[in-house]
């Protein structure tokens, strides 16, 4: 399928550095637990944690709501759970893209039930919610372009994660 780059790698690198500084400045002082959402946010999470100048731990949650489709199935499934408790910790949840908000709402409920001291959300890309319900995004890299995007960790049928920029999958 043809691809069209819409956010180049250099722009992503600049914005990730800015996000790291924003996270450090705005979140409560002290250690931080960064929770990346697999698989799409693994590259973003790796780059972001290197841009946050404080002590932190990294963990991952695996979720699935798309499978091999380009449209959400409407069902969120946990495929990999956290490796350590987050009770009493300041937590930053890192998402690749917030589209329908279904996955994010599910993860917020799941993580809040585990008793973190605070819970904040950072998304690389965010679309305005279709139902008009505001999502509690603390940090957003870029507004998501219309269409199906791949690259920088985001996939289309498990392909294109290795592209350095964000691309529209056309056709």
Question: Cα torsion for 118, 112, 80, 63, to the nearest 10°?
Answer: -100
Q: Which residue has the higher pLDDT, 112 or 71?
A: 112
Mean pLDDT for all residues in the chain: 92
pLDDT at 64: 81
Residues noted as catalytic: 99
Chain segment 123-153, per-residue pLDDT in tens: 999 988 766 677 889 999 999 999 999 999 9
Q: How far apart are CA 165 and CA 135, in angstroms?
A: 25
Q: How far apart are CA 109 and CA 91, in angstroms?
A: 13
Chain segment 72-83, per-residue pLDDT in tens: 556 788 999 999
Q: Which residue has the higher pLDDT, 109 or 100?
A: 109
> Whose CA is closest to 51, among 142, 139, 144?
139
Q: Which domains does the chain have, with CATH numbers?
A: 3-169 (3.40.50.2020)
Chain segment 26-70, per-residue pLDDT in tens: 999 989 999 999 999 999 999 999 999 999 999 999 998 755 555
Q: How far apart are CA 30 and CA 149, in angstroms?
A: 35
């Amino acid at each position: 399928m043809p691809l069209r780059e819409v956010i180049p790698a250099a722009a992503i690198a600049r914005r990730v550095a800015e996000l790291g500084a924003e996270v450090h400045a705005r979140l409560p002082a002290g250690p931080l637990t960064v929770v990346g959402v697999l698989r799409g946010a693994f590259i973003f999470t790796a780059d972001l944690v290197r841009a946050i100048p404080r002590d932190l731990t990294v963990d991952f949650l695996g979720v699935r709501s798309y499978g091999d489709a380009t449209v959400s199935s409407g069902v969120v499934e946990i495929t990999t759970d956290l490796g350590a408790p987050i009770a009493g910790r300041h937590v930053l949840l890192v998402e690749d893209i917030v589209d329908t908000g279904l996955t994010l709402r599910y993860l917020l409920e799941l993580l809040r039930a585990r008793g973190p001291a605070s819970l904040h959300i950072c998304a690389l890309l965010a679309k305005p919610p279709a139902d008009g319900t505001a999502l509690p995004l603390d940090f957003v890299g870029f507004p998501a372009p219309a269409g199906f995007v791949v690259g920088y960790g985001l996939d289309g049928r498990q392909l294109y994660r290795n592209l350095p920029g964000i691309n529209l999958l056309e056709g």
